[in-house]
Chain A
Amino acid sequence: MFRKLYNWFDSRTGAQASLEEALYENIPGGAKWRYVSGSMLVFAFMTQMITGLFLWMHYSPGSQNAWASVYYITFEMEGGNLLRGVHHVMAQAMVCLLPIHLLQVVIEKAYTKPREFNWWLGLVLMLITLALGLTGYLLPWDQKGYWATKVATELAALPPVIGGLTQKLIVGGTDYGHFTLTRFFALHAGVLPGLLIGFLVLHLAMFRKHGITAHSSPHRPDQLFWPMQVLKDGIACALLFAVVVFAAIAEPVELGPPAEPTEAFGAARPEWYFLFLFQMLKYFDGSLGFNTELVGAIVLPAVLVGFMFAMPLIARKKFGHHLNVTVIVVIVSAAVYLTWEAKQEDNYYLNHPDDTQSAPYKKSKRFHEEVGRSEKEFELIQQLVKDYGIPLEGPTALQQRDPLTMGLRLFRRQCASCHAYSHEEFAIAGPASPAATSDSPGNYGAPDLAYFGSVKWIRGLLSNDSVTGIRGERYFGKTLHVAGEMAEHVHETLWAAAETEADRQALATQIEQVAWALSAEAKLPYLDYAANQEKIDAGIGHLNDDTLGCIGCHNYGDNEDGYVIDLNGYASVDWLTKMISDPAQTGFYDGGSENDRMPSFHSEATKLLTPREIELLVRFLREDHTLLDD
């Protein structure tokens, strides 16, 4: 019965003959393990097609959707991380297998007559594969992919005359946006795989026409492709798949924070297999007068690829093959060296921990800081997505309402040139050293604002410890106020008067109580004021009785004679908003005359920050992480 059915099927389709034709290829010298690289590449590509199709089912190109959909695939879909991971790792495996396959062909001299066309087809396949890697890197639309791909498309504009046009066509305009994604996606999932399939069919057909390059050997009999070679190929591919799955599980594929065109990412690097090209750009520094960047980015790579295309023709000449082998070995070694060098530069600060003053050290340190910052931003957006979901306007709209994400960005940009923020979780370094700024030493920074307005912070301000107290780095140590009345009062009046240990104990207790009373003005969301009402009440008493001599200068409660830093509502939302907007107004630095260097960030004359940004900063400083609503 089955036999009959099969005969009917075969007579209509000729399946048996085709299958035999495909499987009974003679292999001179028999099946060998080293013939597996080609099959592995085909298998890898098949894996990419299949996993890619499934990724496509849930991927949505477009500036608002791309990151969100990749986030969904990676973190919300069960098995999605594995799917994306396999696609990601297999792509790299393909790029690793390519040079192996290519080197084999060169060493076996299989690129020469009569197989020229197959060599050329192979090179085209290699270029398509690399283009797939390049276009795929952008699709998640995260900071890393965005900024790294930007460099690549900038380079597309280098060729004279057609450069600008080419760039516009690739990017879909002058700026990155929807069209960049839709175009890259069409290339990555449609045009390039289509071309690859077409060229692969030709490559295989050509391969069958010429057969395997090996010659029959008297010691090893010829074998047919089926079954031994197919078995070997199968085992190799299964192993490859196992390794890829293992790698995808062991090191889950990453996703960076969403792309933000005006929030530059200082650690943009291409995929590792393009790193040598990236590194090579550094060597073409324009010192020759003509546009050497064009040479480094386009001409030289094109010449190398051109050389590879010419190899079968060169091989006809005497020693041509040797020349080819030499050049290929040089290219591969150079690529390996440049990759190593690029890694070396980025890791300089880890490998040379003592060389702190050198430019490479600082550059590499900044690189790692940026990597860390981006990881932090990702953690934050991940939490936001968990708490709120991704809005229609995209993930960046969520970030822009988050006091933590925006606070860190704004603080770094606007505040960190004076203030440090030594928070346990989100530290931001302040200004580096006195010599580095235009102002005179001793007057180059400002108080550390981590935990500003908390009991801990105020307690430190009222301490005379030379390191952690008011004259220390964390308070007035970097400002003119280090010699001002406040510091003098704390040192010379309060603590100098406490002569015995018992006095000091009593003073510390009073300070603790005043700190609670003042912090209660701030109503910080992370402190438990209700549980410390006694201290607060005692502190309010001290302030009203002027036990510590505060209200001679500061306003508090009924006292309205103060002229600096109003203690009513100290560090509250309103107080901070005013302080950041315009510290020249009354209630802060006596109309500005006591101000060291605190700028106005939103006043008549200056609008360095918008009211919205100030609101975000205020919440950030108070560690109030509720989203800004509009």
Chain B
Amino acid sequence: MNEVKPKSRDTETSPPQTTNERRGFLSSAAAITAAALGGLLGVGPLAIGLYATVMDPLRKKTTPQKAAGSAGATGAKEGYYFVAQIGELDSHVPRRFTIVADKIDAWNFMKDQPIGAVYMRMQGEQIECFHTTCPHAGCAVSYELESQAYLCPCHNSSFKVDGSKLEFSGSSNPSPRGLDALEVDVQGTNVFVKYEDYFTGRHDQVAK
């Protein structure tokens, strides 16, 4: 059979005379152009995707998901959120307050959402205010009446009622710093807090 009708495959795949063209991979202008084109073809869509999608969050403001503080009271300074009335603060025990504000999550706008929480108490004339996020790795601390300390449920970090690190023998405290203190602004009886998220795991308190 072969003699009568050779396999089509043989004629199609047997290479033409290519020996001199194979000498170097990038020996001619055509080869270089072809290689560059091949590379670009892959990079092109990738670059568009990286720029448009992956980098999108970088182009938003530092706190893209929180709209201006609104609920509860007016008169907030830029970046401050209403959090409580001064009569709600105790002078011994820190109380946890939720911060309510409008929130933007990607394509959704939501009114009056809880966006975070703080602990506050009166210290003489001053208001002490701490972020509830553990500066170690971002779990949420809670104030435990029984031990009179802020305890983190994750890696044993604990903090005194004044926010400083609590060290006691026999237990490690991996947090690199004390609880993050937040700036407070009192107007009349309204307490506003400059609520920001901070990078965890660093010695200094740096806003995200």
Residue of B nearest to A444 (CB): B145
Contact with B along A158-180 (1 / 0, CB 8 A): 10000111001101111101110
Residue of A nearest to B138 (CB): A154
CB distance from B139 to the nearest CB of A (A): 6
Q: Decide yes or no whether A267 CB sits under 8 A from chain B.
A: yes
CB distance from B100 to the nearest CB of A (A): 9
Whether A283 touches B172, Cβ cut-off 8 Å, given contacts A362-B147, A433-B146, is yes
Residue of B nearest to A342 (CB): B155
Within 8 A of B (CB), among A390-446: 413, 417, 431-433, 436-438
Residue of B nearest to A263 (CB): B114
Within 8 A of B (CB), among A597-613: 605-608
Q: Decide yes or no whether B164 CB sits under 8 A from chain A.
A: no
**Residue contact A147 to B139, C-beta cutoff 8 Å:** yes
**Residue contact A432 to B145, C-beta cutoff 8 Å:** yes
**Residue contact A286 to B174, C-beta cutoff 8 Å:** yes
Q: Decide yes or no whether B41 CB sits under 8 A from chain A.
A: no
**Residue contact B87 to A605, C-beta cutoff 8 Å:** yes
Chain A neighbourhood of B172, CB < 8 A? 282-283, 285
**Residue contact A606 to B87, C-beta cutoff 8 Å:** yes
CB distance from A296 to the nearest CB of B (A): 8
Q: Decide yes or no whether A222 CB sits under 8 A from chain B.
A: no
Q: Decide yes or no whether A157 CB sits under 8 A from chain B.
A: yes
Q: Decide yes or no whether B75 CB sits under 8 A from chain A.
A: no
**Residue contact A158 to B87, C-beta cutoff 8 Å:** no
**Residue contact B174 to A284, C-beta cutoff 8 Å:** yes
Q: Decide yes or no whether B85 CB sits under 8 A from chain A.
A: yes
Q: Decide yes or no whether A359 CB sits under 8 A from chain B.
A: yes
Q: Decide yes or no whether B29 CB sits under 8 A from chain A.
A: no
Tell me, in angstroms, the Cα distance from A126 to B88 when the chains sit together. Answer: 53
Contact of A293 among B62, B93, B137, B156 (CB under 8 A): B137
Whether A268 touches B201, Cβ cut-off 8 Å, given contacts A63-B105, A282-B172, A286-B176, is no
Whether A366 touches B153, Cβ cut-off 8 Å, given contacts A155-B137, A173-B60, A286-B174, is yes
Chain A neighbourhood of B72, CB < 8 A? 607
**Residue contact B57 to A264, C-beta cutoff 8 Å:** no
Chain B neighbourhood of A283, CB < 8 A? 172, 174
Chain B contact residue count (CB 8 A cutoff) = 64
Tell me, in angstroms, the Cα distance from A436 to B144 when the chains sit together. Answer: 10
Whether A293 touches B174, Cβ cut-off 8 Å, given contacts A177-B106, A278-B155, A281-B155, is yes
Q: Decide yes or no whether A593 CB sits under 8 A from chain B.
A: no
CB distance from A543 to the nearest CB of B (A): 36
**Residue contact A151 to B138, C-beta cutoff 8 Å:** yes
Whether A607 touches B154, Cβ cut-off 8 Å, given contacts A155-B137, A168-B57, A413-B96, is no
Contact of B106 among A179, A436, A605 (CB under 8 A): A179
Residue of A nearest to B190 (CB): A607
**Residue contact B64 to A261, C-beta cutoff 8 Å:** no
Contact of B155 among A63, A153, A175, A282 (CB under 8 A): A282
Tell me, in angstroms, the Cα distance from A599 to B84 when the chains sit together. Answer: 15
Residue of B nearest to A12 (CB): B9
Whether A293 touches B57, Cβ cut-off 8 Å, given contacts A155-B137, A282-B155, A363-B151, is no
**Residue contact A261 to B114, C-beta cutoff 8 Å:** yes
Chain B neighbourhood of A171, CB < 8 A? 57
**Residue contact A157 to B145, C-beta cutoff 8 Å:** no
CB distance from A357 to the nearest CB of B (A): 10
Residue of B nearest to A155 (CB): B137
**Residue contact A367 to B197, C-beta cutoff 8 Å:** no
Tell me, in angstroms, the Cα distance from A165 to B58 when the chains sit together. Answer: 8
Q: Decide yes or no whether B25 CB sits under 8 A from chain A.
A: no
**Residue contact B88 to A150, C-beta cutoff 8 Å:** no
Chain B neighbourhood of A151, CB < 8 A? 137-139, 154
**Residue contact B139 to A150, C-beta cutoff 8 Å:** yes
Q: Decide yes or no whether B7 CB sits under 8 A from chain A.
A: yes
**Residue contact A268 to B153, C-beta cutoff 8 Å:** yes
Q: Decide yes or no whether A383 CB sits under 8 A from chain B.
A: no
CB distance from B152 to the nearest CB of A (A): 9
Interface centre among B115, B138, B203 (most CB of A within 10 A): B138
Q: Decide yes or no whether A370 CB sits under 8 A from chain B.
A: yes
Chain A neighbourhood of B146, CB < 8 A? 362, 432-433, 436
Contact of A264 among B107, B142, B145, B174 (CB under 8 A): B142
Q: Decide yes or no whether A83 CB sits under 8 A from chain B.
A: no
Q: Decide yes or no whether A262 CB sits under 8 A from chain B.
A: yes
Q: Decide yes or no whether A538 CB sits under 8 A from chain B.
A: no
Q: Decide yes or no whether B205 CB sits under 8 A from chain A.
A: no
Tell me, in angstroms, the Cα distance from A157 to B135 when the chains sit together. Answer: 12
Contact with A along B161-189 (1 / 0, CB 8 A): 00000001011111110000000000001
Chain A neighbourhood of B139, CB < 8 A? 147, 150-151, 264, 266, 268
Contact with B along A279-302 (1 / 0, CB 8 A): 001111110000101101100000
**Residue contact B85 to A607, C-beta cutoff 8 Å:** yes
Tell me, in angstroms, the Cα distance from A153 to B139 when the chains sit together. Answer: 11
Residue of A nearest to B60 (CB): A173
Tell me, in angstroms, the Cα distance from A178 to B109 when the chains sit together. Answer: 12
Within 8 A of A (CB), among B71-90: 72, 84-88
Contact of B201 among A165, A174, A294, A363 (CB under 8 A): A294
Contact of A157 among B58, B65, B86, B199 (CB under 8 A): B199
**Residue contact A417 to B153, C-beta cutoff 8 Å:** no
Chain A neighbourhood of B199, CB < 8 A? 157, 163-164
Tell me, in angstroms, the Cα distance from A429 to B103 when the chains sit together. Answer: 34
Name 13 extra pairs, CB < 8 A, besides A282-B172, A605-B86.
A153-B138, A169-B55, A171-B57, A172-B106, A174-B64, A262-B98, A284-B174, A286-B174, A293-B174, A363-B156, A605-B189, A606-B87, A607-B84
5 A-B pairs, CB-CB below 8 angstroms?
Answer: A150-B138, A154-B138, A158-B201, A262-B98, A278-B154
Query: B: which residues have CB within 8 A of A?
Result: 7, 9, 54-58, 60, 62-66, 72, 84-88, 92-93, 95-96, 98, 105-108, 114-117, 132, 136-140, 142, 145-148, 151, 153-156, 168, 170-176, 189, 197, 199-203, 208
Cβ-closest 6 pairs across A and B? A264-B140, A605-B87, A154-B138, A178-B106, A266-B153, A177-B105
